[in-house]
Structure 1
């Protein structure tokens, strides 16, 4: 083989030979990337709940999607009666399934039964009729399944929300919540600099630090981005400051690292949220799980590099004098920790 290589190199010359080898390596790389990406797509198609809800985990995932939307509906200062009718209809069907009723004590199913019952009770207490999509017999069934003695929301005062930021890490971590109600007063650039200084302690592969943060306080641009993202409807009026967190693909050198930007970016985002909380700045991370068309839309608002992938937008600010956060019950350890 070496003799053939040397003969070929001698025939076409070292410069052309090296260029040829570079082209071959790139073509092989494209082939490998395509195959790996195709395998990723196959697994996502097979195991995500996007295309089929044919396993318990997929059904649970859809239930979580719906019940958390109900929780968030309770956060608005002016409660919108009969909100989320389609979600409620779907949730009623899912929570009536035998496989779900048999798992009623699992954290997320228990949270769903609690939320759907609180939804009914809120309307009943205000004499708002919802019997056209949520019947009394369904409520009675779900009420029997409730195992949590909690509310779906928690009320806060701005003066007490940050009480645990200088306690031990356990209390500090538990005290951070997603806040959607902000004062008009803006967080200073000096504080923002301190937040980034702390957040950048996050680990990254080989310390490459691919994550960048775009800071916005232009209300028009913020509103345009919120409209593209679409997950904070009803709260946009109070949002006057925002981070857009991106990861730069330039920092990854192997095909095996094709998803590393999400790992490094996720680590940075969590550290950023903790840093904001430490400096008594409220925040609400809003995911950017969108198709490529949304990535193109945001390019019309802020000058991202082509190599940069948006990972998350984070409205920030000082919390309102009084506000609410969702229960967002965490899973039990035995649902997460698998000892092998």
Structure 2
């Protein structure tokens, strides 16, 4: 009898542990579509359904992220409220919708993860296009990457919503959650275009529209990404400082490159651009241009970068991306810079730019 009771107890504990694991781990499945109607809108990226889908009525819109209205009792102010209001306009109560899932069906909170479609719109994409959300790709959910990437470019180019150059959102939703929750970044970040990834704290090295987040480093490797630093050698040239919004119309924007190595390098044929494989006016550095060891190269220009956020990209003559940076907003007369030279990008603008000299 004692042995039988021990067996029953052991089986019970195994069953309980299995339930716990299933509850904690995100649920994975193949993409599918379901029909339902909207009961209510919670915030800019969460809704309730009338008819359950896969046992859930609460849906977190997938691959996009809207400013917070209530995270640990804190909000992102008008940006979160405006996103919620817009989603209510797009999805009035009772709206028939198609609910499309991707590879990860539910998150750790039990919410369904999905793309919401009406008969005319991909609502997730529309929120990005209108500037009320940003793309937020977490692998392996990549079904609409190209569409949401294009939607973001439209929002940035038109200054819509959070990209309004006169009043831009200064902190991405995930950054806000990290700060309020007093947590460090914990997701590895890949560049969809280059298939390179960086450590969680280096997310700003990857432009927003090219970011793919990975819960584990092994996920990045499984997806075919390799570390940005490759074999550990540092690139011979880096984007080091950017001034996108000069003091006046008579002063120039600039991009500063830096050579962290002990050897000079030939910059001839290298290309400076804003959007990878999509920039309208790439600048090719003239042949014969040499970048000294531990030295700087500065390219000055007029009206090249957007004041309300843009990409800065450096490509090798063969088109390979050497370095890239994305700034979310600009301040007149201030620059974004690596501090120290060749180090991590600063989290705040530099009010006294140091064009062609050591960053302080």
* TM-score (normalizing by structure 2): 0.22
- Structure with greater strand share of residues: 2
* TM-score (normalizing by structure 1): 0.23
Higher relative contact order (CA 8 A, sep 6+): 1
- Structure with greater helix share of residues: 1
